[in-house]
Amino acid sequence: MKIKIISKTHVKPNKPILGKQQFQLTTFDLPYLAFYYNQKFLLYKFQNPLDLEEPTFQNDVVEKLKDGLGSVLEDFYQLAGKLAKDDEGVFRVEYDADDEEVKGVEFSVAEAPDVSVGDLTVEDGTAKLEELVPYSRISNLEGLSRPLLVIQVTKLKDGLAMGLAFNHAVLDGTATWHFMSSWSEICSGVKTISTQPFLDRAKARDTRVKLDLTAPKDPNASSNGEDAGNVAAEPPQLVEKVFKFSDSAIHTIKSRANSVIPSDGSKPFSTFQSLASHIWRHVTLARELKPEDITVFTVFADCRRRVDPPMPDEYFGNMIQAIFTGTAAGLLAAHGPEFGASVVQKAIVAHDARVVDARNEEWEKSPQIFQFKDAGVNCVAVGSSPRFKVYEVDFGWGKPETVRSGSNNRFNGMMYLYQGKAGGASIDVEISLEPHVMEKLEKSKEFLLIEEEDGNKLSNGNGNGHANSNGLV
């Protein structure tokens, strides 16, 4: 893939932010310093070929995005700032328009004239996206000397690829997509965004936590992660795939999980709990673990409404905690989907305000900066959420063709859930596994919700007839 960088600039808020703005990173933020930047990829197909010609592309696309970015940064100005720390090792995010070290959001324009949108809608791997999404293998700790948000817009043969890298120590997925939807709102012509971010991190947690961490000496050098907060070295070879579960497939999965009425009086299983059990069980089967082997399920859960008092949905920062649960592989395999769904449900329900506070207090007494792969043995871990309206991020030339994560923060069993473009309850499952495990998963008719009829006909089994040719779309 031939990609040429045309320009690289920096964007600050269009209107000056007066004074030096400082926000101490909270206990919800700090554990992610050793993760890599959170990468997102959005792909757009242009209906009007003239939009790709010059000077139209530069004037009507690039400048529109940059001007809209400058406008939305007036509200989300923390993203235009930098990480800093005091002499005691207490980290903060700060923005000072008069600080020469604060350059703003990095914005690059590139072109790949031989690459089409269709070339990038493949469901396997992220290798093709590597040059389109910036800041691969750059740790969040490097935000001490690098921009907190880096954007690369690449002009394709018939559309546009947008790659973004967000410093995960500054914001989580909820805040990320709040920013993205707000930016697209401005670019679509509104004067002010519909939902203002809540910027006061002290309302979430105000404990001063002292950390002994240093960033790499050369911020311009390519980081392999080993010198930035003890980030893990390169993970073992993995393969990635996107499984697209249709609306009917999701309803089938949920129906099967709820086909057995719990004897303990627990609530019906949610869509997430049902899908989590389906994937966890089938990945465990594909791994061919011993019956006594423990397998862990981890979900990075939003705690905005779990804490007491609750935080607003528009809180800008991290408000997530990892919820861990587990069971023996043999138990997961021997039972139906209701077993795994019950294990997941109980862990999620138990993670209330008291547990959230206790976890924070424990971490504050003995801070540990975990590696991004520390999610548990034989694990399946979930990031992102199908609740994020990723296909509504429309900058004025239509909804994205696809939304993906980049190559960062992937490990064996890590998956990202996205709203399906097909709408309804459809969900895209983006997962990384060892090659032999992925091969078994791809051949599992039960996982894919494919049933054989009359010996050779394949249909989607949804319990109420067959709506689609198979369980994937």
Query: What's the gap between Cα 224 and its chain centre?
Result: 21
Please provide residue 54's backbone torsions phi and psi, each rounded to the nearest 5 degrees.
-95, 145
Which runs of consecutive H residues, i.e. helices, occur in 73-166? none
Which residues, in sequence order, are CB contacts of 292 under 8 Å at separation 6+? 328, 329, 330
C-beta neighbour count of 341 within 10 angstroms = 30
CA–CA distance, 368 with 446 (Å, rounded to integer): 40
Six-digit token string for 400? 């994205």
Burial 436-448 (b: 16+ CB within 10 A, else e): ebbebbeeeeebb
Give the active site residue among 51, 60, 357, 394.
394
Which residues, in sequence order, are CB contacts of 4 under 8 Å at separation 6+? 110, 111, 112
CA–CA distance, 98 with 108 (Å, rounded to integer): 23
Choose among 333, 335, 332, 338: nearest CA to 257: 338
394 catalytic? Reply is yes
For residues 205 and 311, the answer to whether their CB atoms sit within 8 Å is no
Six-digit token string for 211? 């950390």
CA–CA distance, 356 with 375 (Å, rounded to integer): 17
168 catalytic? Reply is yes
CA–CA distance, 336 with 219 (Å, rounded to integer): 51
DSSP state of 34: G
Six-digit token string for 458? 């394949």
Which residues, in sequence order, are CB contacts of 33 under 8 Å at separation 6+? 91, 139, 140, 141, 169, 211, 213, 229, 369
Six-digit token string for 446? 């039960």
CA–CA distance, 83 with 25 (Å, rounded to integer): 9
CB-side exposure of 369: number of CA atoms within 13 Å? 22
Give the active site residue among 75, 168, 278, 282.
168
Secondary structure (3-state) at 23: strand
Six-digit token string for 183? 């930016």
CA–CA distance, 189 with 4 (Å, rounded to integer): 30
Six-digit token string for 97? 């328009």
Place of tokens 């399906």: 420
DSSP state of 412: T
CA–CA distance, 167 with 97 (Å, rounded to integer): 20
Which residues participate in catalysis according to the annotation?
A: 168, 394
